[in-house]
Amino acid sequence: MSSSSEKFVNLDKNCSEINRILQQTSNVANMNGGKSQQQQNQILQQQQQQEQALFKSNDGFTIAIKLLELICQSPHDLNHYSGISTKTPINLINLIINASRNNFEACIDLILTNKLFSLLEILNIHSNIMLSELTPNELGGGAGANKKNHISIEWFVCSSLIQLIASLFTILNNESSLSENNSALIQRANDLISLMTSYGLLDNLSVFFINIRGPLDDELQTVEILNNCLNFLLSITKFLAQKKTLDIFSPRKTEDNTQLISTIKATNLVNIISMLYGMLHKDASTTPVKFATTNVKKQTLTTLELTKLSLKLLNQMIVLDLNMVQNLLGEECLSLQLRHISSYLIWYLNLNSNNSSTNGNITQTNVNNLTNIKCEEVLHEIILLIGYFTVLNEENQVKIELGTPPTILQQLCNLSFKYFSDKKLILVLYPTLICSCFNNEKNKCVLTSELSAETLANFIQEKISQEAKQQSNTNSLGIEGYYF
């Protein structure tokens, strides 16, 4: 074995060992139970922070990034060194992820010291390779599909780097103390988003998404990559949405210094709706399925989780720019796909979130419970999306009453009883019903034919009273009140 081969074998071993040390605290935390669980987690978290600090103090981030530059800077570098494992760049990226996980100080170091910019160069190179290797319309379709796409190491390098960036922006999003005092950090984070947008990363991801034309249950590698991509988009969109100075309903145009909003618009919401339609099209495009109660195809937890992430991303895009997303979703093609998706999901999720059949099998009981919870989470996201889609938008209000009955609005009015009796679930459904019918006589007639208008009127009056009371407390205490 050559000396360079030996070095890279040792590098792989060292990366794996450091990753094991950084990860073992969280693994132990998951295994331990009992009354002292919280205390144990606190101790383990302190140990992890100490190990992360040790890694940082020994210039671990700089070394790991320089090694990545050495290996990955050119598309041909992965095969340049004999003896290098295809897992080496993935191990190095995972090392950076683990060393910065839930660590705000490490996040600041990576963002403010320009360490990430060289990684974005690598991400740009590998995302373009990933795009060039895509065979149109060949992702998804189950085990029997004709697979032409080869998931190369470039795909995983790209996916891991996207996961790293998502984890850093998630740390920023969860940091309550992030304010004007961190203006340099916020500006640098904006610069990173701007650079990724100018590189065309979102354009590449939109092409990846639109090529998904079926369920991905048997394509675990593609699922992992897609999951990382969705979390990445969700994290950067949420970051910009949280830093907005304008109200979501403000008539003023949202500033777009990073060009993220214009890119989302140019790519039809990064083709998220088309991807969802592709994953669900065999079910979402079939009208009679709404009336079936037997032999219903069960959606897997994988599909439900990807659907939930996609809907959360769409809802976060709306928070970023309501008018832009409403206008795009109201266009003929996307509007039709959205109606098919919404109609199918409301029917399916409402049916399965109430289905608690276990057949006496404990394992099956746990799976069913998890599926029911996931169904309810996805249902709440689609209800929220319909509310955003129709709020103060007469044209979109009309669209949810189109098609073969039961229409989307009729399905919402006929959700299970708990959405009209449980206070928490009422807060999920009623605002969307109000948005769907506000200043729209036809939709009001549909709503009042399905449920009592007095119920909604009481809900609105209660919220007005709560807001008035909160405003009174604001005036007396000098603090900002809650706005419903």
Question: Which segments of 200-271 does DSSP mark as H helices, in order?
Answer: 201-210, 220-242, 260-266
Is residue 39 very low, low, confident or very high in pLDDT (cuts 50, 70, 90)?
low
Inform me whether the pLDDT recorded for 358 exceeds 50. no
Which pLDDT score is estimated for 415? 94
Which pLDDT score is estimated for 224? 94
333 and 463 in one domain? no
CA distances from 350 to 285, 347, 426 (A): 18, 5, 15
Residue 381 near residue 315 (C-beta atoms within 8 A)? yes
Is residue 360 very low, low, confident or very high in pLDDT (cuts 50, 70, 90)?
very low
Which pLDDT score is estimated for 333? 92
Inform me whether the pLDDT recorded for 45 exceeds 70. no
Range 433-448 average pLDDT? 94
- The C-alpha torsion from 93 through 97 and 98 to 104, rounded to 10°, is 150
- Say if 475 falls within a structural domain: yes
Is the pTM above the cut of 0.85? yes
Dig out the tokens for 74 from the structure: 């050119």
Candidate from 176-180, 193-197, 289-293, 342-346 with smallest mean pLDDT:
289-293
Residue 299 near residue 236 (C-beta atoms within 8 A)? no
Inform me whether the pLDDT recorded for 82 exceeds 70. no
Range 327-353 average pLDDT? 93
Inform me whether the pLDDT recorded for 81 exceeds 50. no
- Say if 445 falls within a structural domain: yes
Number of domains in the chain: 2
445 and 463 in one domain? no
480 and 429 in one domain? no
Dig out the tokens for 402 from the structure: 């189109």
- Domain range holding 460? 452-484
Is residue 342 very low, low, confident or very high in pLDDT (cuts 50, 70, 90)?
very high
Does 357 or 38 have the greater pLDDT score?
A: 38
- Say if 480 falls within a structural domain: yes
Task: Label each residue of 126-193 as H, E or C.
Answer: HHHHHHHCCCCCCECCCCCCCCCCCCCHHHHHHHHHHHHHHHHHHHHHHCCCCCHHHHHHHHHHHHHH
Is residue 115 very low, low, confident or very high in pLDDT (cuts 50, 70, 90)?
confident
Which pLDDT score is estimated for 150? 59
Other C-beta atoms within 10 Å of 460: how many? 14
Dig out the tokens for 369 from the structure: 């419970």
Name the DSSP letter for residue 360: T
Which pLDDT score is estimated for 399? 96
Residue 420 near residue 426 (C-beta atoms within 8 A)? yes
Does 469 or 410 have the greater pLDDT score?
A: 410
Residue 91 near residue 16 (C-beta atoms within 8 A)? yes
Across 8-12, 196-200, 473-477, the highest mean pLDDT is recorded for: 196-200
Inform me whether the pLDDT recorded for 90 exceeds 80. yes
467 and 381 in one domain? no
385 and 308 in one domain? yes
Q: Report the candidate in 334, 342, 340, 331 with the shortest Cα–Cα distance to residue 282.
A: 340
468 and 322 in one domain? no
How far from the centroid of its chain's Cα atoms is residue 2's Cα? 45
